[in-house]
Amino acid sequence: MKISFHGHSVILVEANGTRILFDPFINGNPVTDLKVGDVKADVIIVTHGHNDHLGDTVELAKKNNALVIGTAELADYLGSKGVRTHGLHIGGGFNFEFGRVKLTQAFHGSGYINENNEIVYLGMPAGVLLTIDGKTIYHAGDTGLFSDMKLIGDRHPIDIAFLPIGDNFTMGPDDAAYAAGLLQAKKVVPIHFNTFPLLQQDPKTFVKMLPDGVGVVLDVGQSIEL
């Protein structure tokens, strides 16, 4: 299994012949190495409805005939745009042909400003547990620290966790390091940092807060094998 980081919260998982893309914020993302026209995805998972996560989902889904997975409200909204979707909700999961997707809580917001400058409510934000090829990947989405991360780790042994460290809108490095301890993931990768001035952080400093061998900094475009 190959997992690659593409800036901000964009993660690509390639396993069993399936390409699963998380939070495809590409156009307008100053730190990504991707171009929408080049991206191939079979499945797109969106953690919540903010533009820097929902991003280019509609265009990519239509171009690739990809299945989009998210909360029920988000799935309904994207379905109205002609996208093939599967809605879940917090605590719920589903066994797809490629693997299992389960949503966890995340403490954040989820709304989209449309072309009429109206805010469209897109359901609760979520974290995602993806179990595929015998491995479990946790993408926390945008969230603050919460104590039930320990419950998530106890219930779902996590091989690799992607945690936001940018502060201001999400956990900062200190809280993310505490979250890593609660989750007890074998590997922890920082995301959602250095995209914009408000999110400036040093990922190497964050990794030093974790036990030896747990933290992994992935440069944009870099991958890890599980």
Residue 85 lies in a domain: yes
Residue 225 lies in a domain: no
Residue 165 lies in a domain: yes
In this predicted structure, the answer to whether residue 95 has a pLDDT above a threshold of 90 is yes
pLDDT of residue 160: 98
Residue 226 lies in a domain: no
Considering its fold, how many domains does the chain have in total?
1
Average pLDDT (194-218) is 98
Residue 27 lies in a domain: yes
In this predicted structure, the answer to whether residue 149 has a pLDDT above a threshold of 90 is yes
pLDDT of residue 143: 98
**pLDDT tens-digit series, residues 21-78:** 999 999 999 999 999 999 999 999 999 999 999 999 999 999 999 999 999 999 999 9
- The CATH number assigned to the domain holding 7 equals 3.60.15.10
Asked if 140 contacts 164 with a C-beta cutoff of 8 angstroms, the reply is: yes
The contacts of residue 39 (CB under 8 Å, 6+ apart) are 21, 24, 26, 60, 64
End-to-end CA distance of the chain: 5
Closest CA to 138 of 91, 101, 83: 101
- Cα 185 from Cα 183, distance rounded (Å): 5
Residue 211 lies in a domain: yes
Closest CA to 191 of 164, 158, 212, 209: 164
**Residue 47 token pair:** 């953690």
Residue range(s) defining the domain that contains residue 59: 2-218
Residue 19 lies in a domain: yes
Residue 145 lies in a domain: yes
**pLDDT tens-digit series, residues 109-136:** 999 888 888 888 999 999 999 999 999 9
